[in-house]
């Protein structure tokens, strides 16, 4: 027979996830783990392939975001990629993509689009996506160009930073709503 407490735990399962890990630290660790184990086994190619699949899976898992229209495929898909120019750069780009997808997944969970700060942050991301698209065109035209490559990574870093801000803002709203509904 289930008690009220069991019913509560069952129905409130998602809201109990109140803690956040140090994402940056964990992803850096995962990156190093994958890198070291792969080189240890001499399977560098396999590693890149795994990462590609992993990124693709994360995208699949992340379907249904409300922010999908904004983030869409712009930064994830595309014709020319850095991997076409240089394998190492391609690897680095893949890591950024994985991190972006991880942040997107986190931002999706409790997203508050009606919040003015989040709306502004989304707008900024939209601008970044436009810059990214333009930079990718430049890359296709110019090939290996330091400034273009720098801009691409800079765009990823700024996007990750903005997503972090959205996550923080979401958490703030969530905590506020929780306090509001609290009866003690």
Partner 1 sequence: MYNIAIRFLNNKMDAEDILQESFTTAFSRLEELQNKDLFGSWLKRIVINNCISLQRKQKIAFEEIDEQRHREVDEMDEGMPKVDPALVHRAIKELPNKGRTVLVLRALEGYSHKEIAETLDISVSTSKTQYSRALSLLNKKLKGKIDVN
Write out the residues near partner 1 by the rule CB under 8 A.
3-10, 12-13, 15-22, 25-26, 29-30, 33-34, 37, 50-51, 53-54, 56-58, 60-61, 178-179, 181-184
In the complex, minimum distance from the CB of residue 35 to partner 1, in angstroms, rounded to a whole number: 10
Cα atoms in the 13 Å half-sphere on the side-chain side of 39: 5
The answer to whether the beta carbons of residues 52 and 97 sit under 8 Å apart is: no
Is the Cβ of residue 77 or residue 183 nearer to partner 1 in the bound state?
183
Nearest residue to 121 via CA among 134, 132, 136, 111: 111
Residue-level length of the chain: 184
Is the Cβ of residue 57 or residue 119 nearer to partner 1 in the bound state?
57
Is the Cβ of residue 93 or residue 129 nearer to partner 1 in the bound state?
93
In the complex, minimum distance from the CB of residue 12 to partner 1, in angstroms, rounded to a whole number: 6
Q: Which two tokens stand for residue 20?
A: 């956040």
In this structure, how many other beta carbons lie within 10 angstroms of the beta carbon of residue 128?
20
Is the Cβ of residue 25 or residue 116 nearer to partner 1 in the bound state?
25
């Amino acid at each position: 027979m289930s008690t009220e407490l069991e019913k509560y735990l069952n129905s409130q399962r998602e809201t109990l996830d109140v803690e956040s890990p140090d994402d940056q630290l964990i992803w850096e660790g995962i990156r190093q783990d994958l890198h070291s184990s792969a080189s240890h086994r001499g399977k560098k190619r396999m590693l890149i392939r795994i990462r590609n699949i992993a990124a693709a899976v994360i995208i699949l898992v992340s379907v249904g975001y409300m922010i999908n229209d904004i983030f869409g495929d712009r930064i994830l898909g595309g014709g020319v990629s850095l991997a076409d120019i240089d394998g190492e750069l391609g690897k680095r780009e893949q890591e950024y993509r994985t991190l972006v997808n991880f942040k997107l997944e986190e931002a999706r969970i409790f997203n508050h689009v009606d919040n003015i700060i989040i709306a502004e942050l989304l707008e900024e991301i939209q601008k970044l996506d436009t810059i990214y698209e333009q930079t990718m065109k430049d890359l296709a035209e110019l090939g290996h160009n330091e400034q273009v490559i720098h801009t691409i990574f800079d765009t990823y870093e700024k996007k990750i930073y903005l997503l972090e801000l959205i996550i923080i803002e979401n958490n703030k709203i969530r905590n506020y709503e929780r306090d509001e509904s609290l009866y003690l």
